[in-house]
Amino acid sequence: MDSNKSIIDFLNQQAKEAAAGKAHVSFHMPGHKGRRAMFDKAGFGAFIDNIAACDITEIPGADALFDPSTTIKNVMDNYADLYGVQHTELLVNGSSAGVMAAVMGSVPIGGTLILGKNSHHSAFSALRLGGINPAYVRPELNREYGLTAAVRPMDIRKACDGHPEASAVLITSPNYYGMLSDIKAIADIVHRCGMILIVDQAHGAHLRFCDYLSQQQRDGGKFVKNTRTSAESQGADIVINSTHKTLFSFTGSGILNICSDRADKDAVIRTLRMLQTTSPSYIAMGSLDINERIMRVFGRSVMEHWMSDIASFYDRASRIHGLTVVDCAGMDLTKINISMASLGISGTQLDRELRARNIIPEMVHGHYVMLMTGAGSRTGDYAALLAALKDISDSYAAGAAGRAAEIRGKGGPALRSEPNFDLESADVPAECDAVPLYASEGRILYDPIIIYPPGSPVVCPGEIMSMDAISYISEAIARGEKAGGVDDEGMILVGRR
């Protein structure tokens, strides 16, 4: 790409390619996939065509996000009804603001939050900003695929018993790969201990509609296997959804659902007011309104087509030589995780090969590539993906054994071992310094260090670096694995002394 191009140059190019029918096949966020067909069908084409005219603030007839009484309040109430919850707040600073507000509005300064080690950066930011002490729970590992899986209820029970002073528990479900935790079992444990359950469901805004479709088809028809239900229907107290990731709203928008009286609604709302802009985007909020209306009116049709395409993809993909598709119990199958390591193709290579064939994945993690489908994905997108994968398989068939042996020598697609060390914890640092990884023993980590695969933090903010942790991370880097939180010069961020 021309380094002299500005953002608008790039966006103009994207618009021209879309108008000419030359757009990429997107298996990346956002969920609408850059297509306007559903917007037109729902009668919102004028909104799409007149974005500049819709970029307003609180002009007459509009409403204020910080004091909603008319238009914005109606959208909030409609979402609460659609998701079956007590109250919904609109998010215009992304689900990150929602996660931070939920945590800081539920845990007092100096209090304790129990959270999975696979939490989003926003959760760690909330710890730092709110002066909150973490009690980390390590998610289990799917050993067949070497990917971070669910947080087990038994581990939550152990954490709750060990930290009775905790006010809340935060679970990420689904995680980045689509692995779902048993929210109902976790909610029962958390509530018995007098705590509240917050679920970061940023990647699962569609799950509530999977619930509805599953219920409608209970007496007939086939629903996508292994799909569990949404956090809203399993006893969570606060749920944060990035509606832009898989549904039809625009990037940066989402919703925070308060589901029970256990949550301090007023405290969460007050905190959210501190974290969101006082000049909210009416374009983002308008897209939230459109998303709610589309899913209310056309949701069943959207979900039926989406789930049918997903089921067909998994069936046809299973016949492609050398292709591994992650398909296990307790998984949201709309996140397609694939590997061709058996053909000697690394995750980075596979990503390049797909992009060369006009397929844009969401991310690479180790020897896997994750493709995020969405409500805007079309049947033709899956056909194009299958054709690309078949072509890659055919192209790499010769000499595959030797290349695969080389990849196995580097660790293969599955994780060799998981961390078996425990780390002491301290307060999450407010300030940081950069130090070499090899010289970090005894220092308190500022930013998480994440090894791909499986993509779960090995060390989290507030944990104290040990030689076992340093050795584990160093060995992973030596094997060629990606270590987020360690820069190219081997430096990491630790708390300032």
CATH number for the domain including 368? Answer: 3.90.1150.150
Using an 8 Å Cβ cutoff, are 370 and 336 in contact? yes
Residues 283 and 314 in one domain: no
Mean pLDDT of the chain, nearest integer: 91
Residues 159 and 171 in one domain: yes
- In this structure, what CATH number is given to the domain that contains residue 223? 3.40.640.10
Quick: pLDDT tens for 318-348.
999 999 999 998 899 999 999 999 999 999 9
Calculate helix-pair angle for 282-317, 71-83, nearest 10 degrees: 30
Residues 117 and 218 in one domain: yes
Residues 291 and 308 in one domain: no
**Does 114 fall in a domain?**
yes
**Cis omega (within 30 of 0) for bond into 68:** no
Domain count of the fold of the chain: 3
Mean pLDDT of 295-311: 96
Q: Tokens standing for 425? A: 């914890």
- In this structure, what CATH number is given to the domain that contains residue 469? 3.90.105.10
Last residue of a domain, one of 297, 328, 358: 297
**Does 44 fall in a domain?**
no
Which of the four pLDDT bands, split at 50, 70 and 90, describes residue 223? very low
Quick: pLDDT tens for 306-315.
999 999 999 9
pLDDT at 224: 47
Residues 249 and 213 in one domain: yes
**Does 422 fall in a domain?**
no
102 pLDDT above the threshold of 70: yes
Residues 190 and 57 in one domain: yes
Which of the four pLDDT bands, split at 50, 70 and 90, describes residue 185? very high
Using an 8 Å Cβ cutoff, are 355 and 347 in contact? no
Last residue of a domain, one of 269, 297, 325: 297
From 479, 429, 428, 483, select the one nearest 456 (Cα to Cα). 483
**N-term to C-term CA, the chain:** 43
Higher-scoring residue by pLDDT: 16, 215: 16
**Does 28 fall in a domain?**
no
118 pLDDT above the threshold of 80: yes
Last residue of a domain, one of 297, 330, 364: 297
**Does 5 fall in a domain?**
no
**Does 333 fall in a domain?**
yes
Mean pLDDT of 257-262: 98
Residues 398 and 446 in one domain: no
Using an 8 Å Cβ cutoff, are 37 and 305 in contact? no
Q: In which domain, by residue range, is 141 found?
A: 53-297
Where is 349: in which H helix or E strand? helix 347-356
Residues sharing a CB contact under 8 Å with residue 115, sequence separation 6 or more, in sequence order: 123, 134, 135, 136, 137, 169, 170, 171
Residues 95 and 216 in one domain: yes
Residues 135 and 256 in one domain: yes
Residues 172 and 318 in one domain: no
